[in-house]
């Protein structure tokens, strides 16, 4: 899997806003040092490439959990390690391309950025965006977060009406089931009321209850990514045909490394089945590590691997 992380440096790190340039100026605007690529390669000039991957933006207030989500899903960081993550002060861009289906960029935004500072070229950012994930900390007072969500969504929608707006009501691990539902209802109502008041009821927000301490974050990310896969209906059809012609109860097409499922058949997803598959993937990866198979080894599962649950008939 090729993953390249760029840190798009602000001209002045202490500045609350990140300076952006028009796309024509991109090449001149960022020297290599300013880009600060962690493993080289991907430069800001990629936005000039017509085949550039869809962007997934991670936005939300400070400490809402954006970087933790990215680290846990795409870097296999354990949830407890995220306690030591420092606050992000630069836009962090990561290229995720593990298969022809899973291919996108994730942009993690610092919480303190003022997106609407005149020096911040939000039009350029939203223009190439496929999904905007807005993370709300459910363990904190979320009134400010909801108004920030409204501001972000309305600005983004003006630039690009095709963006999928995804709201992660995050850190729900500390909440009881009743409390979770209650918070989701309240946030949903407030966010939609704000849109109706602004005459923008046509904007569709999708809500997910997430936590890095269980599989909910992987499931939510799977659904976000699936919406960006044009071949999804075909894949779902193939999986439907597959299970109807075999003794298989449920089939997922997984991106093994991230545990995102790219597609599944049309029967409902049961969280425990999904968790079982994730655990099986972990076992395969652990065994691969123990036996030291290289990444090029034919013995390793290919990055996008179908995983199936068998129904044993007696
Ligand atoms: N309980 C719980 N804590 C979480 C969860 N996700 C993240 N956190 C914690 O939230 C804190 C902030 O996480 P970050 O990922 O740094 O938040 P951020 O939104 O990237 O913060 P900025 O970079 O300041 O914008 C860390 O201590 C994480 O361990 C979660 O699902 N549940």
For every residue of 121-185, which 3-state class applies, written as one string? CHHHHHHCEEEEEEEEECCCCCHHHHHHHHHHHHHHHHHCCCCEEEEEEECHHHCCHHHHHHHHH
Q: Does 80 contact ligand 1 (Cβ within 6 A)?
A: no
More confident residue, 251 or 295: 251
Closest C-alpha residue for ligand 1 atom 32: 171
**Closest by CA position to 209, among listed 238, 239, 182:** 182
Model confidence at 173: pLDDT above 90: yes
More confident residue, 236 or 88: 236
Q: Does 78 contact ligand 1 (Cβ within 6 A)?
A: no
Residue 64 C-alpha to ligand 1 middle, in angstroms?
5
- Number of the ligand 1 atom closest to the C-alpha atom of 213: 31
Mutational test site, ligand 1, from 18, 68, 94, max ligand atoms within 8 Å of CB: 68
Q: Does 303 contact ligand 1 (Cβ within 6 A)?
A: no
Closest C-alpha residue for ligand 1 atom 7: 65
The CATH number given to 55-228 is: 3.40.50.300
Yes or no: say if 228 and 131 are a contact pair by the CB < 8 Å rule: yes
Domain spans in the chain, listed from the N-terminal domain onward:
55-228, 230-289
3-class DSSP state for residue 114? coil
Spatial distance between the Cα atoms of 294 and 80, rounded to a whole number of angstroms: 28
- Number of the ligand 1 atom closest to the C-alpha atom of 174: 1
Residue 39 C-alpha to ligand 1 middle, in angstroms?
24
Q: Does 85 contact ligand 1 (Cβ within 6 A)?
A: yes
Indicate the pLDDT class of residue 166, thresholds 50, 70 and 90: very high
Residue 171 C-alpha to ligand 1 middle, in angstroms?
8
- Based on its alpha-carbon atoms, the radius of gyration of the chain, rounded to whole angstroms, reads 20
Domain covering 230-289 assigned CATH 3.30.450.190 in the classification: yes
Spatial distance between the Cα atoms of 160 and 157, rounded to a whole number of angstroms: 5
**H helix count then E strand count, the chain:** 9, 10
Token pair of 135, please? 């993370």
Inter-CA distances, 158 with 1, 127, 149, 155, 165, Å: 35, 10, 14, 5, 13
Q: Does 67 contact ligand 1 (Cβ within 6 A)?
A: yes
Token pair of 148, please? 């920030």
| Per-residue model confidence (pLDDT) at position 285 | 81
Across 58-72, 118-132, 182-196, 260-274, least confident range: 118-132
- Residue 84's CB: how many other CB atoms inside 10 A? 7
| Per-residue model confidence (pLDDT) at position 76 | 86
131-145 pLDDT tens trace: 999 999 999 989 999
Q: Does 213 contact ligand 1 (Cβ within 6 A)?
A: yes
| Section 224-248 average pLDDT | 92
């Amino acid at each position: 899997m090729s993953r390249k992380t760029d840190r798009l440096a602000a001209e002045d790190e202490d500045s609350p806003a990140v300076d952006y340039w028009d796309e024509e100026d991109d090449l001149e605007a960022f020297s290599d040092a300013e880009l600060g690529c962690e493993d080289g390669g991907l430069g800001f000039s990629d936005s000039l490439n017509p085949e550039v991957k869809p962007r997934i933006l991670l936005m939300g207030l400070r400490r809402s959990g954006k970087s933790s989500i990215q680290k846990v899903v795409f870097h296999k960081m354990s949830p407890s390690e995220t306690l030591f993550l420092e606050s992000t002060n630069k836009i962090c861009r990561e290229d995720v391309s593990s298969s022809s289906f899973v291919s996108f960029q994730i942009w993690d935004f610092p919480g303190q950025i003022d997106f609407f500072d005149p020096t911040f070229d939000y039009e350029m950012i939203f223009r190439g965006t496929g999904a905007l994930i807005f993370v709300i900390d459910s363990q904190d007072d979320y009134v400010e977060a909801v108004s920030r969500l409204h501001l972000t969504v309305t600005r983004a929608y003006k630039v690009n009406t095709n963006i999928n707006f995804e709201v992660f009501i995050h850190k729900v691990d500390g909440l009881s089931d009743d409390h979770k539902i209650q918070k989701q209802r309240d946030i949903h109502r407030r966010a939609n009321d704000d849109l109706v008041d602004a005459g923008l009821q046509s904007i569709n927000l999708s809500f997910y209850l997430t936590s890095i301490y269980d599989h909910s974050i992987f499931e939510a990310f799977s659904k976000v990514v699936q919406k960006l896969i044009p071949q999804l209906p075909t894949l779902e059809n193939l999986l439907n045909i597959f299970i109807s012609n075999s003794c298989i109860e449920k089939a997922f097409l997984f991106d093994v490394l991230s545990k995102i499922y790219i597609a599944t058949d049309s029967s409902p997803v049961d969280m425990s089945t999904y968790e079982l598959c994730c655990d099986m993937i972990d076992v395969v990866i652990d065994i691969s590590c123990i036996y030291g198979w290289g990444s090029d080894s034919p013995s390793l599962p290919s990055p996008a691997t179908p995983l199936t649950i068998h129904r044993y008939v007696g």
